[in-house]
Chain A
């Protein structure tokens, strides 16, 4: 297992946003996470990355207990992430965004990372804009940069947070193709997404969250026909 969450909970005051989540992710797997807004999906990502610390439970990464480990330790262990709302380093160029991620995520010298950053920029169709300031990018390019920067950290486990949201059908297709290529190289992916057709074209399992609890996990086909999931997530009367 690359990741194992055991009875993980997180509260903000009286509000429990993650409630006893238990899930394991195999190395090389692609797991999708769905759930209504406010279900605690992004909080779960923040708990995995260390941006938030769990109140209860245990998180294991590559067999090591990282429940109290800071975010940067987890990055260096191979956890890369994108943010739901793109958060580029706006005062840096696209290339410098990747260079920062590569230099600190992997702990190497800048000069050694140049070719790898260029390769990632090419894969994510950002190479042409390498020297453009990140603050001046369009939404699509910001999403691409989120993905590219996460890849630059050299992740074994890639967490994607609604990376297809707000994109046109064509843009979404291109992004899915890129994510499939990354997954095909063996990178484990956990992907939160509302664009279900994009998500189900990549992931092998779906996990459904509601009010911070796991209400279903399994193959996408089985999950999507589940009565409880259809009621809660899709809002359908069954």
Chain B
């Protein structure tokens, strides 16, 4: 007599739009410049990091400010794979995910003993310790860093085919490959988060976020859930970090473990777009990119403007820009809410 529904027309329209956008995105290098591809790569990788942080903080209640540890370790593991093991850079990206996963285990072991702000600070401390340790790794350039060897960057799998297909030079082909991988990663990460939120675990995550004691009282294994979310987020962040540094082909501890680039900007994107929604980071990354482009020449004014924008959104639209849009329009592009349909229910038919 009663039915559970999650599907909405907006959700179906979004699914179709995503397929169209992905196909268009794959074909885009044929009609656009290298600069646009590089900008899109930046947007897609930042969006991936933002979706992952949103999963951690917005759904899992784990406000980490140490995600740069996983970007950095992922990137360094990729470099180690290429320089020390002679792997192809694309294959070495997987090493980045594994290394981040391995680092996440001791990180969670220590950080989960802390709560709230202490957890946030704890993750930051662990990221700094990791950066200092990596800076001692002489084979990968120590404190000054290193570059991917020429023979590795000129021989990345798939670039020859891209050169033939689009008639571009080697460096442009490498950018196109990195862009495609970023597109695949953002679709995979967002798709997995969407699936997760619509699964049983999505309910558990929301329950833990809202009230840990009550979640335990209905049988949610809070500890296991937090571990799972933290490890998944770390591995995905490591993959993203490795991919970012395949594109730049140059690494240093400061760049790979930069709290501003890989955590502060990511938090800005999620907060300004709307925490706890899949749509929020998408809106946030577009606003972030627009501000970054407009204010690139203004030095520290750029960071001050970002800070002011974040404060304004927190004061006047605490659910972010997407929260504002959604509250006024009732629109949910990625619906995760389960609705009970049936007699005697308001709006249940």
Contact = CB atoms under 8 A, between A and B. Distances in A.
A179 interface: no
Given A89-B206, A118-B340, A131-B340, A83 B219 contact: no
B217 interface: yes
A184 interface: no
Given A114-B4, A118-B2, A99 B203 contact: yes
Contacts of A7: none
Given A96-B338, A114-B3, A127-B345, A87 B213 contact: yes
B346 A89 contact: no
B204 interface: yes
Interface in A108-133: 109-111, 114-115, 117-118, 121-122, 127-132
Contacts of B213: 51, 83, 87
Interface in A66-94: 70-72, 75-76, 80-81, 83, 87-93
Interface string B215-247: 111111100000000000000000000000000
A197 B342 CA distance: 37
A122 B4 CA distance: 16
B293 interface: no
A62 to B, nearest CB: 16
A110 B4 contact: yes
B206 A101 contact: no
| Contact size range, B | 20 to 34
A10 B328 CA distance: 50
B348 A130 contact: yes
Nearest to B216: A71
Interface in B85-130: none
A49 interface: yes
A64 B1 CA distance: 38
Nearest to B223: A70
A100 interface: yes
A213 interface: no
A40 interface: no
Interface in A18-57: 49-51
Interface in B230-273: none
B344 A128 contact: yes
A100 B211 contact: no
| Contact size range, A | 35 or more
Contacts of B339: 93, 95, 131
Contacts of A72: 216, 219-221
A107 interface: yes
Nearest to B200: A103
A115 B2 contact: yes
A110 B215 CA distance: 16
Contact of A117 (B206, B220, B340, B346): B340
B346 A128 contact: yes
Interface in A171-211: none
Among B218, B220, B346, find the residue whose CB has the most chain A CB atoms closer than 10 A. Answer: B218
B262 to A, nearest CB: 27
A230 B214 CA distance: 34
Contacts of A129: 346
Nearest to B210: A89
A89 B207 contact: yes
B203 to A, nearest CB: 4
A105 interface: yes
Nearest to A96: B338
B242 to A, nearest CB: 34
A104 interface: yes
Contacts of A150: 217
A178 to B, nearest CB: 17
Contacts of B4: 99, 110-111, 114
Nearest to B1: A115
A9 interface: no
Nearest to A107: B219
Contacts of A131: 339-340, 345-348
Interface of B: 1-4, 200, 203-204, 206-207, 209-211, 213-221, 276, 337-340, 342, 344-348
Interface of A: 49-51, 70-72, 75-76, 80-81, 83, 87-93, 95-96, 99-101, 103-107, 109-111, 114-115, 117-118, 121-122, 127-132, 149-150, 152-153
7 contacts: A91-B276, A92-B207, A95-B339, A96-B337, A114-B2, A121-B340, A149-B214
Given A89-B215, A95-B339, 8 more contacts: A51-B213, A88-B214, A89-B210, A105-B219, A114-B3, A130-B345, A131-B348, A132-B346
